[in-house]
Structure 1
Amino acid sequence: MASRPTYDINVWVPSISSKQFKTLQQDSNLPLFPRAFRGQYPPASTFKISVALAALENGTVDQDTLIDCPKSLQIGDKTFRNWSKNKEGKLNVMNAIMRSCNTWFYVVGGDSGGDNIASMAHRFGFGAKTGIPLNAEEDGFIPTDAILREKYGHAFTGGYVAHASIGQGYVLATPIQVAQMMAGVGNGYAVPKPRLVLQVQDLNNNITESFDPEERNALNLDLKNLWLVRQGMIDVVNASAGTAKRARNDHVTMAGKTGTGQWIQNGEDLLISWFAGFAPAEDPRFAFAAICEGNPGEEISGSNKSAPMVGEFFNALYKLKSERGELDGNSKTAVASSFELPKPGEDQQAEDNQAVRSESPFRRIFNPFRKKR
C-alpha cells in the first residue's frame, strides 16, 4: 500500500526529533496520513461495478437489456447529467461499463432500488473495515434506507439513489476497499481478506509463521453475470470507445474501471481520479485501486490521471518479469467487444443496433474465471 506524498522513514531511526515531527504534522499535503486505508473518498464510477452486479443479480437487467441513455435525466427537481454531456444511445451492461455512462446507471440504479445496491456493496466488503492489522482503518459508508431515515430523516430513493448509483452522494470507500472489490470480481468466487505479510522467517530463512489466504465473503454470484461485468471492464481498457485506453500495455491485458469523483476538502470543491481493476484479465494475479487527489481548480479524471499511472506501473512490472523470464504461459487472449458511439442525426435503428449482443457469452474463447486454489 503506497501513499504519497510520503516522507523519509530514516528520520525515525533511532528516533524523530520534535521539530521534524511537527514539520510533518503541519505539512498541508498530509504525508503522515495513510490514504490507502484511512482516506474515505467517493468511489465514483468504480462503484458502478457493484451497482451493475446488483442489477444483474436481482433481474433488473440481463445481457440483452438495452437502456436508452440521453445526455441528462430529470429526477425529482434535479437534473442529472452524463459525464460526456452527450447522449450515448442504447447500451447494454457491458457497453455501460465501458462508457461509464451515468444516465444508464441512474435508470438501472433507480429500478434496482437503494437497498439492493447497498446489499451488493456490503457483499463486496464496503462499509466495513477490511481487517488489515493496522490501527485506525476506516469503515467507509454505504447508505441504506433505514440509516438515512434514522440519521437524516429521509428515504433512500430518487436523487439519493441516483447519486449512489455512480458512487457519489453518501457513498464513501477507502482505496483498499475498492481494491478488495476488484479482487473479488477478479477471482470470481469470494472477497479475499487483504494480507500485508505472507510469512515470517528467522535469520536462517526458516518460516516461523505463515499467513494463509482468508476469504471474507463468498460472492455466490451467477457466473454469467460476472462474465458480463468482466467483459465490460476489459472493454474499458481495450475497446476503442473505452475510458481507460491510456492504461494499455504490450505485456498483459488489463480489466479496469475509471472514476472521477467530486469531494470537498477544507471547504474547497476538488476532483479525484480513480482507476481500479485486475490483471491479467485472462487469469488475474493482481488487483489494484489507484486514486489521485486533484488540486484546487485542477481538472483531472480517471482517464487522464490514474489510468496512465497504473498503466506505467504494469508496463514496468511486466517488463521486469519479461527480463527475468517469468512470463511463461502468459498470453493476451482477452479481446474487446465491438462498439461505436452514436453519430449526430443517427436514426433509431442504428442506435438499436449499436449495443453488443451475444446470445451466449460463453461462446467466446475467453473464459475469465479462475478455479479456486
Structure 2
Amino acid sequence: MAALVRKKVDAPFFNSNCINPSLLLEKGLLSLDGENSKKEHLQKLVALPASAEYKTAFNRWFDLTGDDSRFQQAAFTVKNRLLIGMNGNAGLETGCCLSRNYGMPYIPGSSVKGVVRNWANSNLNAFSDDIEELLGTDDSEQPSRISGTVTFHDAWWIPKDGGKPFVLDVVTTHHQAYYNGSQDEPSDTDSPIPNHLLAVQGSFLFVLEGEPEAVQTCQRMLEEALKHGGIGAKTAAGYGYMRPNLLLASNLQRESDQRLPAEVKEKRKAEAQRKFEQQKQDEAKAELEKSPSDIVNELSLHYKTQRDSQDYQKKIEAWIDSAIENWQLEDRHLLASCLEGAGYIPSKKKKNHPIRKARLNQLKGVK
C-alpha cells in the first residue's frame, strides 16, 4: 500500500496517544509489511481511548436530546461484540463505522431504523399500515412513498471512565485455496488463515425523535430487535446483540441534570407539564366522544374492579353529565340501568346514597 502520511509527521502521528482513530484506520494507513503487521496496526487502534473532545461532544449531544417532549433516549450495552461497517476499508480488509470528526464508533440511524423495520415486518405483519406510518414507506421507488413520523438518529458510543471502544477480533478462514479456485478439493491438511478484525465493545446511546406516543412504540420495537435479532454483521454468530442498561442511562441523566442551566431545566419542566395537561384534556375529550354503547360496554366490564378509584368515578360523572346534555332519552335510560345494575347506588347507610340516586333520576329524566 502507498504511504499516505508524510515522513516528517510519521513518528509523532503514530506515537500520539490522542490520534483520531479514523485517520489511523484510513487516511493515515502506511504500507504494511510482514505477517503480523496488520494485527500490530489494529492493536494501536485498540489501545486508543476516547478523546476529551469526544466526551465533550457526547455530553453536548446528550443534553440537546434530553427534552423528553421531543426525544427518547436509551442506553444499550453490547452483550458480546459489535461489527459495524466492516466493508468500509478495502486496504485492511476490515472496517468500522467511525465518525470522521472524533474517530469513535457509531451506528448509523439508517441501520437502527433498518433493524426495527426488519423486526416489525417479521413479528407485526398484521399491523403493516401502522408500521408504515411510523417508519415510512419501505420501497423508496414507490411513487406514493411517505416518510415516517419517527426520526432515528445515529447511535453514539458512550464514553466511560477508562473505557475503550475497540477490541481485536479474529475470523479464521479455512481452505482458502479451494475457495479461490486454485485447488480442486479442500484438504484436512490445509492451514487455517487467521484474519484480524476491528470490533466494538461497550455501550451506545440511541435517540429517537417524534411524537411521544409514536417514539415510545418504536423504542419498544428497537429493544426487541436488539435483544433478539442484533445489529451489524455476523449476528448469526452472536455479534451485535444488545440489552438495555437502565443504570447507565440513569447515571447519564443525573450528570446531564448537573450540567444543564437552571433556566433550561425550568423551561423543559414547564413544557413537559403543558404536554401532560394537554394529553389529559385530549384523553378526557376522547372519553366524552365515545358512543353510548361503548360506554355501557366498558362499564359492564370494568366498573366492579375500578369502582374504588377516584379517577374512574370522576370519569363516570363526566359521562353522566355528557349523557344528560347530549344523549337521547333511550340511551340515557340504558346507561342508568347499567350503572344501577353494576352497583353505582350504594346502600342506604352510605352518605352518598341520596346523591347517587338523585344522579340516576336526573339521568333518566325523572324529576
TM-score class, shorter = under 0.3
TM-score, normalising length from structure 2? 0.26
Structure having the higher Rg: 2
Greater helix share, structure number: 2
The structure where strand makes up a greater share of residues is 1
